[in-house]
Structure formats: structure tokens, C-alpha cells
Amino acid sequence: MTDDRSATGMISMAERNGTEAGVPRWQQEIRRAAETGIYKIRGGGAGRRSLFDDLLFLGASISRYPLEGYRESCGTAVTLGTRFASRPIELEIPITIAGMSFGALSGPAKEALGRGASAAGTSTTTGDGGMTPEERIHSSQLVYQLLPSRYGMNPDDLRKADAVEIVVGQGAKPGGGGMLLGQKISDRVAEMRTLPTGIDQRSACRHPDWTGPDDMEIKIMELREITGWEKPIFVKVGATRPYYDVALAVKAGADVVVIDGMEGGTAATQEVFIEHVGIPTLACIRPAVQALEDLGVHREIQLVVSGGVRNGADVAKILALGADAVSIGTAALIALGDNHPKWDSEYRNLGSSAGRYEDWHEGRDPAGITTQDPDLAARLDPIEGGRRVRNLLKVMTLEAQTIARACGHNQLHNLEPEDLCATSVEAAAMARVPLAGTDWIPGQDRS
Amino acid sequence: METIDLAAMGLRHLNRTLQSLDPGTNRRHWDVVNPRGSHAVAVGLSAPVEVTVRGSTGYYCAGMNQLATIRITGSVGPGVAENMMSGKVVVEGDASQSAGATGHGGLLVIKGNAASRCGISMKGIDIVVHGNVGHMSAFMAQAGTLVIAGDAGDALGDSIYEAQIFVRGSVRSLGADCIVKPVRPEHRALLAERLEQAGLDARPEDFRRYGSARKLYNFDVDNAGAY
């Protein structure tokens, strides 16, 4: 089993970690289940090797003409919501902050994300639990999520938002609802969600007032009527059947489609869900773009891709495959200081270590990010955190620009699949680009 | 009284007009004619005006209402008064599924029957149904009161939190963690107030009360069969 999956590059985090104290991880997990009687819950996304590492750019040489790295401009701006909204979102960079709730994250962490995104000229996104005043004040462009739970949803905040994102699902748990365990339900979180303090809070997996795409079309129309047809309406789906889901989102009237691969993080979900439901981010991009192209709306309806985006190379690869923007979540938390080595001794006290800590659901994050403990949350300076998030966003953009110039492009969105090749058959098949050194694209008819 | 002909003026004109009313407006009475089953009629209102929709509507009539009183003389489609914050919505006929879904406040009165999922994820709204409700009503209901003068379908109050349910007729079955609860004087007083607000002539002592057993609030493997 391990050998077969190694060949495809799909190796789980547990397998990569090998054994601990000579005991295979799968045996440890059986013992843990037998002792506790509950499945393993954790935060983060699928711990698989990134398939983006199997893609390489074909820099310019004789057959292509590069741009000067630090002298010639390379545009990064993107507009989201050009289809129906009268006030689309204008972003300076094509990297946004994904939805993460107040509740899952501390107040200072939400504020820092807003500060960082605003300083970098991009947007941030609320999450399950509603909009806090802090994140509205500190986010120049804020996307307000409409989730199945509707925690904190109200028309005043809807109108304060710069865009509305209907969350159908997310990559870490497509088809599943959310969960915020009782230890993170502080008085303020409980009040925002209209629930008793300290109980395990469940977010439904289905929206309460619509079921299929025909209903969703009417829901979108209602939201547009309430917001005066000003706000772009995003539809976010977890990556499973990207071609059909994107096509149905388009049919339902979305301005922007967000597709989140299985590497996308979560605050708390069953590990069996995180690791075994959904498809990798790389695998969903080309089918999603294909759906937009088949409907004649590629670039008219923007595609945002998220899930496991770590650096500017990942950004450039996703844009080259046809997306208009990317979203980052976990990377932004790492930038804030999550899993920082300076907290290693405290992570070890929690049975983990710096770089491996993913028990975000427990609310004991030493870095003060995935917690509602006021003492821990106070450890995060939102101004310094905002500076770090801004820096990450800027560096990722510079990295993507560097690659684009090397490929001869004066705009990030001019990157294209022809700029890429793959070092594995699997990545070549998913990205629909040739295996390096060949003209062979697996799955495509060569006759 | 001002009249808007929805068929002639269109939905955007209707909603823009009603949404633009200032809370202190003296244009307080509105008639909407020819709704013809339109969706999203009178949504997002935020002024204490009175709107009468003469006929039947489609999905999400009176959605996210604040302060306004909206009366529909016919029947309504799914999600009437969804996510209502305050105000009052009265349906003279029947309501389709998900009536009052996720409502945070205000009063929803349905004089006919309500279909499935009435009061789903309600967060403080009060709902009074003169007739029957369908299956999975008050599913994951968090706060507020659901009063059913008729019968309730299967799985009433499944995974209910702190909302209260009063039923005068029969209950086909209760959902997970929903139980019959004693009716104390404060509950009877609360019910009497809701009945009066809804214009329903019924005796509080004829109702039984249902609510959460609170056994599923924190995960326990011994309750796994209930999930």
C-alpha cells in the first residue's frame, strides 16, 4: 500500500513521519481509538506531499524572451466580481486571505490578518461565527461568509462587507460540517453564535434553506437584492467534482468561484475526513478552468484556488493553470507565528513540537493564534503579526513575479500551462502539462 | 397607503423602494400587488413600516427582515422570513419548507400549515404555526420559541439546543436529544404571550413543552448511537 502510494506521490503525513519510539503510527492510532473511544480530531489540512513540487517552469531561453528581473514591470493586480456586481473588488495582488473564523482564531489573530492583508493590498475573509468589529476596521477589503450555520449572520454586516462568499464546502471536509469544541467556546464566541458557553458547537453540513443549484440561484438573487446588487457573490466549494461544481456555481449566478483542495486547512475536523475525502488542489484546477472555458466565461467569472499554497512558486503555478487568484490560510498562520520554534518547549508540554503542532481544536495554542484563552491570545501582537503577514504576501508576490518575468510575462495572469512541465506522470496528468523533456501529456490523445 | 404593482415595476424597484425607507419615515403603509409567486419579495427591510403582499410568493419572502411588519395574504415558498432579525411576518396561508430558518428575532406567524424544517437553526425568533409542521422542524434550533397548534411530523427538535417547542397536537416522533419537558408557570406565561401576539385563540394548558435533554452538548462515546 505504502509503495503504491509512494509511486503516486500521495504519502500521508503519518507515513512520512514513520514510527515514533519504534511503534508504527497506525498501531498508535488503533490504541488511541481503543483507549479514548473517539476518532482523532485535529486542525490543518491533508498532510500529503505537495504535488505542486512536481511542476517546473520552463524559463525563457532561445525560443522565449525573458523580462529583466528587477527593471521591467510585471503586473499583479486582479479584479474579482466583474460579472454582475456593481462594485467588484480591486486587489493589488492575486493572493487573498482565506476564511478563518473568530472562534477558531483569537481576536488578535483576526486583527493581524486584516492588517497584513490591507497593507499588502488584498482581502481577508470572515469565517463561521460572523464578522467582528476588529476585523472589519482593520480589513480594507473584507469578504463575509454565508455558511450553513449562519452563526452571526445579519443584514447589517452583510451590507458592511465588500463581497459575500457562500460556503458550500471546504477542501478539508467536503460534504462535512464544522466543529468547534467546547474549550474554545468563550463567552464572546458563544454570544456571537447564540449558543451556551462551553458546549461542542456543530456547524451544519447543508444550508438550512436551500438544497440544490436551482435553489442556490434563488439564494444568490436574494442576497443581491438585499445588498443592492453591489457586492460580488463568491461560491466556495471543496474540491471533489470540480468540473460539475464550477459549472453549477456559474449556472447559479456566482461572480467568483472559490475551489479549495484537500490540502486546505481546518480548525478542527476528523482526521479520517481530512486525509481521505476530497482531491488534491492540483487535481482540481484544470477541470475547473475547463468548465469556465466550456461555458465561455473564463476570466469573466474569476476562479480563486486555495489549499496548500506555500510560496510564490505555488502561486505562479496555480495562476499558470488558469486561476485568477489564490487564497492562503495555514501559510498566513505560520507567518503570524504558529508552530514557531520559540514555543517548542510549550508545544512539547502539549505532546507535540514546533512544526508538528496541529491540535488547533484544543484552544491551547502557545502562539496565541488558534485559541480563545485571553492570556495566550495576548501573546500575539496584532501590529507585529500584521507586519509579518504583509511581508509574506509581498514575498510570495515577488517570487511569482520573478518566475513570470523569467517566462517572459509582464503580468502574472499571462502565465499559462505552456510555461510548465511535470516531473511525475501523476502531476502531468492532473495539471495537463507535458512530462519534463517530452511532449507527452498523460490522458491526452496523441493520434 | 402606497401601492407597488410588482408585475409592472419589477422586483428591484420594489425592494429598493422599501429598503430605502428611513426608520422615521411617515410612508408607513404599503401594498404590494401581483406578486405572482416571485422570489425574494420584500427582503432586507430595516424600517418599522407595514407591508401587505396581496397574493402568494416564492422563496425567501421577507428574508432578513428588521423592524418591518410584513403580511402575506396568500401562501409562501421556502425560507419565508429566513434569518429575520426583528419585526413581524404573518402568512395567511401555508408556508413551504424552512420557514423562519436561522431567524435571530422577531415573530413569524403562519396561519396555515408549515412544511418540513420549520424553524431550522432558529436563533431567537418566535414562530407560531396555527396548523401542522412537517418533519425535522426545529432541527438544531438554538434559541427562541416554536409554537405548533396542530401536529408535528417526524424528528421534531432533532439536536435542539436551547430553543423551546410547544405542541398542542400529536408529535410523530422526537429527534435526537429532544425530550418532553415539564410546563411550569413561566412557560405557560411565555406561551400565553406568544399566542396572544399571534392572534391564536388557544389555551396554554393544552400544549406540551419540548426541549433539549442536553446530553449531546459535549461528545461522549457512550452517546454515539444517538448521533
Query: Where residue B68 falls among pLDDT bands split at 50, 70, 90?
Result: very high
Task: Say if residue A19's pLDDT is above 90.
Answer: no
CA distance A349 to chain B (A): 24
> Could you read off the pLDDT of B47-62 as tens digits, one per residue?
999 999 999 999 999 9
Kindly state the cell numbers that stand for B121: 437553526
> Could you read off the pLDDT of B138-173 as tens digits, one per residue?
999 999 999 999 999 999 999 999 999 999 999 999
Query: Where residue B69 falls among pLDDT bands split at 50, 70, 90?
Result: very high
Mean local confidence (pLDDT), A195-215:
90
Rg (chain B; Cα; Å): 18
What pLDDT does A6 receive?
35
What percentage of chain B carries pLDDT values higher than 90?
Answer: 94
Query: Where residue A4 falls among pLDDT bands split at 50, 70, 90?
Result: very low
What pLDDT does A435 receive?
98
- Considering only CB atoms, B40 lies closest to which of A193, A215, A221, namely A221
Cβ of B40 and A222 within 8 Å? yes
ipTM: 0.96
Q: Find all residues with CB under 8 Å of B21, minimum gap 6, and list them.
A: B27, B45, B47, B49
CA distance B25 to chain A (A): 19
**Side chain identity, residue A384:** E
Cβ of B219 and A38 within 8 Å? yes
- Considering only CB atoms, A209 lies closest to which of B12, B78, B162, namely B78
What pLDDT does A193 receive?
86
Q: Out of A67-71, A324-328, A385-389, which region has the weakest mean confidence (pLDDT)?
A: A67-71
Cβ of A194 and B16 within 8 Å? no
Contacts of A210 in chain B (CB under 8 A): 59, 78-79
State how far the alpha carbon of B79 is from the alpha carbons of B40, B63, B83, in Å.
10, 7, 9
Task: Say if residue A60's pLDDT is above 80.
Answer: yes
Distance between CA atoms of residues B80 and B157, nearest Å: 19
What pLDDT does A394 receive?
98
Distance between CA atoms of residues B126 and B84, nearest Å: 10
CATH number assigned to the domain comprising residue B86: 2.160.20.60
Task: Say if residue A14's pLDDT is above 50.
Answer: no
Q: A33 at the B interface (CB within 8 A)?
A: no
What pLDDT does B109 receive?
98
> Could you read off the pLDDT of A277-315 as tens digits, one per residue?
999 999 999 999 999 999 999 999 999 999 999 999 999
Between A20 and A269, the higher pLDDT residue? A269
Contacts of A227 in chain B (CB under 8 A): 44
> Could you read off the pLDDT of A37-49 as tens digits, one per residue?
888 889 888 988 9
Query: Where residue A118 falls among pLDDT bands split at 50, 70, 90?
Result: very high
What pLDDT does A310 receive?
97
Nearest to A373 by CA among A383, A362, A382: A362
What pLDDT does A47 receive?
86
**Side chain identity, residue B169:** G
Mutate to test the interface with A, among B6, B12, B32, B60 (most CBs of A within 10 A): B60
Mean local confidence (pLDDT), A339-344:
95
Task: Say if residue B100's pLDDT is above 90.
Answer: yes
Count how many Cα atoms sit within 13 Å of the Cα of residue A19 in the half-sphere of its side chain: 5
Cβ of B63 and A226 within 8 Å? yes
pLDDT, mean over chain A: 92
Q: How many domains does chain B have?
A: 1
- Considering only CB atoms, B15 lies closest to which of A195, A219, A225, namely A225
**8 A C-beta contact, residue A74 and residue A315:** no
Residue spans of the domains in chain A: they are: 14-42, 45-337+380-411
> Could you read off the pLDDT of B180-215 as tens digits, one per residue?
999 999 999 999 999 999 999 999 999 999 999 999
Kindly state the cell numbers that stand for A96: 487573498
pLDDT, mean over chain B: 96
Chain pair A-B, CB pairs under 8 angstroms: 104
Kindly tell me the sign of the dihedral angle through the C-alpha atoms of A206, A207, A208, A211. negative
What pLDDT does A48 receive?
86
Query: Where residue A199 falls among pLDDT bands split at 50, 70, 90?
Result: confident
Which residue range forms the structural domain that includes residue B55? 2-226
- Composition of chain A by helix, strand, coil, percent to 5: 40, 15, 45
Cβ of B43 and A202 within 8 Å? no
Query: Where residue A203 falls among pLDDT bands split at 50, 70, 90?
Result: confident
Distance between CA atoms of residues B75 and B13, nearest Å: 22
Mean local confidence (pLDDT), B94-115:
98
Contacts of A155 in chain B (CB under 8 A): 44, 46, 64, 66, 83, 85
Cβ of A226 and B43 within 8 Å? yes
CATH class held by domain A45-337+380-411: alpha beta
Task: Say if residue A230's pLDDT is above 90.
Answer: yes
CA dihedral A29, A30, A32, A38 (to 10 degrees): 100
